[in-house]
Amino acid sequence: MEVRGASAIVTGGAGGLGEQTVRRLVASGAKVVIADLGSSKAENLAKELGADAEFVETDATSESSVKHAIERAAELGPLRVSVAVHGGFGGGGRTLKSNGTPHSLEDFRNVLDPYLVGTFNVLRLASAQMSTNEPLADNARGVIINTASIAGYEGTIGQVAYAAAKGGVIGMTLTAARDLAVVGVRVVTIAPGTFITPAYGDNPDQVEAYWGPAVPFPKRMGQPVEYAKLVLAIVDNDYLNGEVIRIDGAIRFGPKGPS
């Protein structure tokens, strides 16, 4: 699908994976809304990219906030691409601690809300806007790309909430694609493995030394630009739909981490 002259929205667009995605979309000719929580990084990225990008402060879990960002994107051109790569808050925890204390229900909900509910919120509102577009070849009106994680397949000990959230994103991919087929909107999910982003900490060398050797090939962590390249490949290939694509160097998590 051609994005030149169209608009795109990237929730979490100032984050590690999101920033590179924004840059790639702009380079491909799209006008991009950087939908993220307020930060100087988001503002600076928009300023650097100039007229082709705009920062709109956005809470992915809020209907009114996401609607506002999508409406702004649609003012820049027909919304053809939505990428949900926003993060969340809340720590990990075992289902049952060694002292017999069960996982906090509030903490569980706090993880699911941004990662799963927020992703669905963006999906449903973006698809509604895309359905109003003039169709391209094959009746295509847009593509929605969600972000899961390989933890949605093999979560490690203490990741029960995160694994549930990302497993939910994986699980809704095919159904959403079938739901939206009638309006010509594709849905594809990316499940990253270990990528060098702030989510892994502030010491890239340290996390690379820990995770890199566990990756079969290439024997390193992923780079955000590699995620962004996959986003553009999905946008370009109209026959990719209803699929979850792992991008992980063939790593599989063991119960306690690298395996």
Distinct helix (H) and strand (E) counts, the chain: 9, 7
Note the pLDDT tens digit of each residue in 41-85: 999 999 999 999 999 999 999 999 999 999 999 999 999 999 999
* Residue with tokens 């503002």, as numbered in its chain: 43
Q: Which of 162, 200, 210, 227 is catalytic?
A: 162
Average pLDDT over residues 133-149: 97
Q: Where are the domains of the chain?
A: 7-246
Look at residue 259 and tell me whether its pLDDT is greater than 70: no
Position 90 scores a pLDDT of: 66
Look at residue 91 and tell me whether its pLDDT is greater than 80: no
pLDDT-derived band at 202 (thresholds 50, 70, 90) equals: confident
Average pLDDT over residues 213-241: 97
Residue 162 catalytic? yes
Average pLDDT over residues 159-172: 97
* Fold held by 7-246: Rossmann fold (3.40.50)
Q: Write out the two tokens for 167.
A: 């497993």
Look at residue 245 and tell me whether its pLDDT is greater than 90: yes
Cβ atoms < 10 Å from Cβ of 258: 15
